[in-house]
Amino acid sequence: MGNIDQAEIDRRFTHRAPGPERTGLHEEVRDVYKAAGGELSDLLPESREKSLAITALEESGFWAQAAIARNVKEEGED
């Protein structure tokens, strides 16, 4: 991505209220991550590695939600 200018900083830190399009996608993504987390929790033995795997999944979920918030346009948005 290279140089991070003020426009990029503004894009990354501007709140975007979810409308129907983003809300639906956020819910779908949460459902996918809940299912994956549940499966991993059932399959993996209790361990530090299991905890790290769940944490990494959680982090991935945050980035997935950010991808929706930052890049999915609602009707009427520029």
pLDDT digits (tens, 9 = 90+) for 13-71: 998 888 899 999 999 999 999 999 999 999 999 999 999 999 999 999 999 999 999 99
Write down the pLDDT at residue 44: 98
The rounded Cα 45 to chain-centroid distance in angstroms is: 26
> Which amino acid appears at position 77 of this protein?
E
1, pLDDT greater than 80: no
For 21, residues 6+ apart whose C-beta sits below 8 A from its C-beta are 72, 73, 74, 75
Would you kindly state where each structural domain of the chain is located, as residue ranges?
Answer: 17-71
Taking residue 62's Cβ as centre, other Cβ atoms within 10 Å add up to 10
Nearest residue to 68 (alpha-carbon basis) of 9, 16, 2: 16
Residue 59 tokens, joined: 């982090």
